[in-house]
């Protein structure tokens, strides 16, 4: 086995919130890596697939997950009956603006910890000591239930 030069990856310089911060450990690389791979290594993951999404593919996934048209169509009768056209339009606009604040905060969390787990990983890292797995499990089941209802 040839000896390779090992390099410690510092998560503070990469500006990521890592699971290693709780233990004081650091990830170690034994090869030259690009910035994406360094971020994943600092988070405790190994790069296993190419992350390359176009604007169109990102929009398509987001649109299909949101289910925008079914949500409007399923509640349109109630809105028109109880609030009329003006209430329906303004209620939808106000709700859309408020939902954007939630989306911005979730995007900020996910961008600081860019893993496939997204918010599940973020909830595990940001939870108090010992509560990470439970918080991650509750977040997964909450999102699953809201998608099914």
d(CA 87, CA 3): 70
Range of the domain at 23: 1-52
Final residue before a domain boundary, out of 12, 28, 52: 52
**Residue 143 pLDDT greater than 80, yes or no:** no
Residue 48 domain flag: yes
Tens-place pLDDT, residues 104-126: 888 887 777 777 777 777 788 78
Per-residue pLDDT, averaged over 75-104, amounts to 87
**If we measure between CA atoms, which residue out of 86, 51, 91 comes closest to residue 71?**
91
Residue 137 domain flag: yes
Give the per-residue pLDDT at 1: 42
Residue 57 domain flag: no
Residues 134 and 148 in one domain: yes
Average per-residue pLDDT in the chain? 76
**Is the pTM of the predicted complex or chain greater than 0.75?**
no
pLDDT band (50, 70, 90) for residue 97: very high
Tens-place pLDDT, residues 2-27: 456 676 676 666 666 666 666 666 67
Residues 1 and 39 in one domain: yes
Q: How many domains does the chain have?
A: 3
Residue 59 domain flag: no
d(CA 79, CA 81): 6
d(CA 112, CA 135): 18
Residue 58 domain flag: no
């Amino acid at each position: 086995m040839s000896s390779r030069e090992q390099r410690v990856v510092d998560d503070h310089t990469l500006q990521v919130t890592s699971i290693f911060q709780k233990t004081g450990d650091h990830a170690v690389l034994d090869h030259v890596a690009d910035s994406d791979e360094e971020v994943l290594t600092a988070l405790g993951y190994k790069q296993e697939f190419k992350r390359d999404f176009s604007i169109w593919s990102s929009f398509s996934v987001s649109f299909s997950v949101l289910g925008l048209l079914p949500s409007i169509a399923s509640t349109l009768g109630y809105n028109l009956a109880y609030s009329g056209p003006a209430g329906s339009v303004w209620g939808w606009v106000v709700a859309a603006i408020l939902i954007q604040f939630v989306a911005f905060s979730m995007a900020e969390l996910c961008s600081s910890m860019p893993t496939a787990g997204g918010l599940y990983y973020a909830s595990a890292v940001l939870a108090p000591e010992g509560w990470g797995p439970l918080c991650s499990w509750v977040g997964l089941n909450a999102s699953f239930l809201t998608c099914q209802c």
